């Protein structure tokens, strides 16, 4: 997932362009280490010191969390391209993570970077996942004494966060996203500082498996609701594609309704996920939830995959990819000591 491309796409979202209370801090991509070139890019894109230097790759690797705070021109020597430089916004060390699951949205407060200002300081390298862990307490996310008394805490307006989440979800067209939002100290405006497709979800989310099940079933209904004309077109395209050799010279196996091989692959992937939740270091509540929801979760995927097999090869592949991502995310997400304080609402 390309962080720079995602930022550009999100910045064009109508809710950010037309409503003053929302914004995305200025950013630019660095593709070289030349200081003069990067200074010019910063000037052209309105990026100011201090800024956060983030890897361009935003997903699927531990390296995507390795970031730096750069305070001055001397610090530009610490740039490690390709990366995205984003103006740092002071926000009293509180980050609000919005988790979107279909038509439901959840807000979870997390620790974040304390207030920083431009100056003659050395570059600070840090792991963003560690700084924003639940209950994390480091010198990076603890407010200085002056800030504790002179910067009043601002509580988020849940209606504003709901409006923002709906707008971003509409722009991205995704059912599963995570949005990192902070509140600017001086203005009280909401800044979108990061966004992820299929984030690691929190233990504090009510009925996580039920929410995922609902997304599956809604997708199932959308497939079943296709018109007869669309079904005829899909069948025609499938028959044509099955007769055309691939680049390697072989023909792909046709997708036959009732064929269980792909379904078995998806089920096995879910068994891995279930096993992870039940055995690999999760807290008691997650183990209990996984055990109680096993049959429900597998049945949902059975229905979803079977329907996809009767619709199109693409849908089947999407189902497999979705499950592979699910396993990867849950195997790479720290499941210990997660917060339970959150807010939630449903989209009508």
pLDDT of 90 reads: 96
The domain of 314 spans 208-243+254-332
Q: 161 and 306: one domain?
A: no
Q: Please determine, for residue 9, whether its predicted confidence score (pLDDT) is greater than 80.
A: yes
Q: pLDDT tens for residues 110-149?
A: 999 999 999 999 999 999 999 999 889 999 999 998 888 8
Total structural domains within the chain: 2
CA distance linking residue 22 with residue 20, whole number of Å: 5
Q: Please determine, for residue 233, whether its predicted confidence score (pLDDT) is greater than 60.
A: no
Please say whether the beta carbons of 118 and 73 come within 8 A: no
pLDDT of 203 reads: 63
Q: pLDDT tens for residues 270-319?
A: 554 445 444 444 444 444 554 555 555 555 555 444 544 444 444 434 44
CA distance linking residue 38 with residue 335, whole number of Å: 38
Q: 110 and 144: one domain?
A: yes
Q: 17 and 132: one domain?
A: yes
Rounded to whole angstroms, what are the CA distances from 9 to 65, 79, 138, 270?
21, 24, 33, 32
Q: 187 and 220: one domain?
A: no
Q: Is the dihedral of CA 197, 210, 130, 270 positive or negative?
A: negative
Rounded to whole angstroms, what are the CA distances from 75 to 36, 41, 59?
12, 15, 26
Q: 314 and 165: one domain?
A: no
Q: 126 and 73: one domain?
A: yes
The percentage of residues in the chain with a pLDDT greater than 70, rounded to a whole number, is 63
CA distance linking residue 132 with residue 194, whole number of Å: 13
Q: 89 and 171: one domain?
A: yes
Q: pLDDT tens for residues 142-156?
A: 999 888 888 777 889
Q: 82 and 111: one domain?
A: yes
**For the residues 243-247, what does the mean pLDDT come to?**
39
What is the strand order of the sheet 104-111 is part of?
22-23, 190-197, 176-183, 94-101, 104-111, 343-346
Q: pLDDT tens for residues 14-52?
A: 999 888 999 999 999 999 999 999 999 999 999 999 999
């Amino acid at each position: 997932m390309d962080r720079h491309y995602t930022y550009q796409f999100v910045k064009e979202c109508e809710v950010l362009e037309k409503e003053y209370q929302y914004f995305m801090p200025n950013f630019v991509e660095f593709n070289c280490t030349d200081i003069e070139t990067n200074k010019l890019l910063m000037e052209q894109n309105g990026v100011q010191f201090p800024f956060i230097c983030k890897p361009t790759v935003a997903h699927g690797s531990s390296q995507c969390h390795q970031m730096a705070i750069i305070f001055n021109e001397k610090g530009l020597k610490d740039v490690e391209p390709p990366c995205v430089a984003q103006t740092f916004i002071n926000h009293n060390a509180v980050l609000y993570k919005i988790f979107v699951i279909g038509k439901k949205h959840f807000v979870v407060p997390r620790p974040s970077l304390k207030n920083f200002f431009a100056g003659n300081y050395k570059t600070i390298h840090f792991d963003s996942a560690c700084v924003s862990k639940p209950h994390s307490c480091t010198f990076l996310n603890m407010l200085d004494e002056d800030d504790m008394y002179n910067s009043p805490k601002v509580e988020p307006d849940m209606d504003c966060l709901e409006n923002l989440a709906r707008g971003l979800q509409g722009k991205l067209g995704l059912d599963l996203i995570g949005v990192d939002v902070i509140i600017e100290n001086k203005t009280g405006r909401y800044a979108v500082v990061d966004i992820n497709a299929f984030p690691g979800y929190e233990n504090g989310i009510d009925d996580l498996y039920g929410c995922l099940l609902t997304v599956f079933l809604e997708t199932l209904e959308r497939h079943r609701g296709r018109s007869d004309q669309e079904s005829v077109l899909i069948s025609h395209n499938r028959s044509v594609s099955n007769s055309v050799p691939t680049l390697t010279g072989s023909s792909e196996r046709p997708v036959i309704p009732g064929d269980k091989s792909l379904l078995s692959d998806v089920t096995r992937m879910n068994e891995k996920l279930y096993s992870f939740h039940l055995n690999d270091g999760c807290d008691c509540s997650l183990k209990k939830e996984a055990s109680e929801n096993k049959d429900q979760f597998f049945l949902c995927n059975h229905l979803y995959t079977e329907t996809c097999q009767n619709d199109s090869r693409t849908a089947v592949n999407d189902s497999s990819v979705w499950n592979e991502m699910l396993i990867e995310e849950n195997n790479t997400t720290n499941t210990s000591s997660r917060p339970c304080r959150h807010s939630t609402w449903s989209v009508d």
